[in-house]
């Protein structure tokens, strides 16, 4: 691979174009994760503690979305919902799917909390909602941080689906850059190889950094668990 190939690809304008796509990817990922954590937590609480109507609705929602492909829901939202642009519709599809996964992660954390803590809190004058807010949920989220971070990594990678709908996120802009370069340069396999290596590197750096955080948090949690047992 020659320096000329790299010079053809990584011009200031091209770098700005790629960074614009990366910014959309990161904003999309953060927004999706935040809304999914909120909505997923509501679903998990309903499924765990409200066994009648709301619990059944939450269980159906979770199982339907978890058992069907993400791309299907992105397609449904983009082509069947009359709101916003493709980015907003696609983000909704990604959020609906991701929230079902996070709901099960949160539910696992809730189930790991000793039921005796509800009785102890009640003896101190806490009602059910106060017990959840001040005692159960903080412990739950401390325990599920590694699993939650893993899902965040998956969500960042899942945003690449949006490239199929000409949404200007990082993967789409990276692919589209070949067409821009071809206007002034004869594109060769070396150009394609260099660009796709760069795409892989960017995703790797972001997700590997998050993976390192996950491993560190997992070790910290394990250490705290051993300390509390002693």
**Residue 56's pLDDT band (cuts 50, 70, 90):** very high
- Tally of CA atoms within 13 A in the half-sphere of 148 that contains its CB: 22
Residue for token digits 């903080």?
138
Judge whether residue 33 has pLDDT over 90.
yes
Residue range 3-229 in CATH 1.10.10.10? no
Q: What is the pLDDT of residue 223?
A: 62
Which pLDDT band holds residue 1 (cuts at 50, 70, 90)? Answer: low
Please say whether the beta carbons of 153 and 211 come within 8 A: yes
Arithmetic mean of pLDDT over the chain: 88
Say whether pLDDT at 98 is over 90: yes
Q: What is the mean pLDDT of residues 23-36?
A: 95
Confidence band of 222 (pLDDT split at 50, 70, 90): low
- Mean pLDDT along residues 32-45: 95
Domain ranges of the chain: 3-229
pLDDT digits (tens, 9 = 90+) for 189-205: 888 898 889 999 999 99
Q: What's the rounded Cα separation, in Å, for the pair 186 and 190?
A: 11
Residue 20, pLDDT > 70, answer yes
User: Which pLDDT band holds residue 225 (cuts at 50, 70, 90)?
Assistant: low
pTM: 0.87
CA 138 to the chain's CA centroid? 21
Residue with tokens 């059944």: 56
Q: What is the mean pLDDT of residues 201-228?
A: 77
């Amino acid at each position: 691979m020659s320096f000329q190939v790299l010079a053809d690809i990584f011009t200031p304008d091209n770098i700005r174009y790629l960074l614009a796509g990366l910014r959309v990817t990161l904003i999309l990922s953060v927004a999706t994760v935040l809304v999914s954590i909120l909505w997923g937590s509501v679903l998990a609480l309903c499924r765990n503690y409200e066994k009648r109507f709301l619990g059944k609705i939450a269980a159906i929602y979770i199982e339907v979305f978890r058992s069907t492909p993400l791309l299907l829901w992105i397609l449904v939202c983009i082509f069947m919902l009359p709101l916003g642009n493709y980015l907003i519709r696609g983000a909704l599809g990604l959020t609906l799917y991701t929230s079902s996964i996070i709901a099960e992660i949160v539910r696992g954390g809730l189930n790991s909390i000793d039921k005796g803590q509800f009785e102890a809190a009640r003896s101190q004058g806490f009602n059910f909602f106060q017990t959840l807010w001040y005692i159960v949920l903080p412990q739950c989220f401390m325990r599920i941080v590694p699993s939650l971070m893993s899902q965040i990594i998956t969500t960042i990678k899942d945003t690449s689906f949006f490239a199929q709908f000409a949404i200007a996120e990082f993967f789409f802009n990276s692919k589209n850059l070949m067409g821009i370069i071809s206007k002034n340069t004869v594109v060769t396999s070396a150009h394609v190889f260099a660009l796709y290596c760069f795409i892989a590197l960017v995703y790797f750096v972001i997700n590997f950094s998050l993976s390192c955080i996950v491993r560190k948090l997992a070790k910290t949690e394990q250490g705290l668990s051993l300390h509390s047992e002693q």
